Amino acid sequence: GDARLVLEVQQQLGGGVVRTIAMGTSDGLKRGLEVTDLKKPIQVPVGKATLGRIMNVLGEPIDMKGDLTEEDGSAVEVSSIHRPAPSYEDQSNSQELLETGIKVIDLMCPFAKGGKVGLFGGAGVGKTVNMMELIRNIAAEHSGYSVFAGVGERTREGNDFYHEMTDSNVIDKVALVYGQMNEPPGNRLRVALTGLTMAEKFRDEGRDVLLFIDNIYRYTLAGTEVSALLGRMPSAVGYQPTLAEEMGVLQERITSTKPGSITPANG
């Protein structure tokens, strides 16, 4: 068929041979297939065109609503998912609070604008429901934008989430990026960066944006799987030796700058 498989180069083995991780299923691949060198990193669409849409790790729409286009019909801006973190002089350290509209959170555990928030809980206790309510409130009360990255989550939850946002009339304020648990590990390891890249664009436009990553632990697990596939020696408890670096690459970019802020909630 005309389905294309994107591979991201991880190691240069010499002699024109590279080791890659697949962003989609590798079923049906065989020796001797032709590969095209794109000569650029994975690039995804950013900006207002992403709002109200469901996209995959490559920024391709998967909601069957056609291609992403700007309101005036022009091509959508794209940005690489691999970018350096903002320098210290570019970062902002404002002490404002973000009113969530959930009374118990605003009273007991207020969110700092641009501060990092972690939601901890066992399976099925309501982390995702909490995120849904936060997105709805921020969109309804503050007209703020949110980006939701579903990393290794259940497809059913992603579906419920979309319909919940649609029913609440806030779907046009949120961009949804999914790499669910049925996807290969390379996809799940990169989908958080795709969501973050979209959030960075809104921040650089001077907005206060919420970034939800559900679930950050499954991002870690995807890194463990990729590390094993690349033949790296695991650390003492079985995690990848590059765990701190992988988490740092993601978390260091989630920060507030002079124009705007990213407030992350990691489930």
Q: How far apart are CA 236 and CA 148, in angstroms?
A: 33
> Does residue 154 carry a catalytic annotation?
yes
Residue 171's contacts (CB-CB under 8 Å, 6 or more residues apart) are: 52, 162, 165
DSSP-assigned beta bridge partners for residue 174: 146
Alpha-carbon radius of gyration of the chain? 19
Catalytic residue among 153, 157, 183, 200: 153
Catalytic residue among 53, 127, 173, 218: 127
Strands (E), 101-227: 111-112, 117-118, 145-151, 174-179, 208-214
Catalytic residue among 83, 113, 116, 154: 154
Q: Look at residue 166 and give its three-state secondary structure.
A: helix
Identity of the residue numbered 207: R
Q: Look at residue 101 and give its three-state secondary structure.
A: coil
> How many angstroms separate the Cα of 49 from the Cα of each of 46, 76, 178, 244?
7, 7, 17, 33
Q: Which two tokens stand for residue 108?
A: 């007991």
Q: Which two tokens stand for residue 152?
A: 């290794």
> Does residue 153 carry a catalytic annotation?
yes
Q: Which residues are catalytic?
A: 127, 153-154
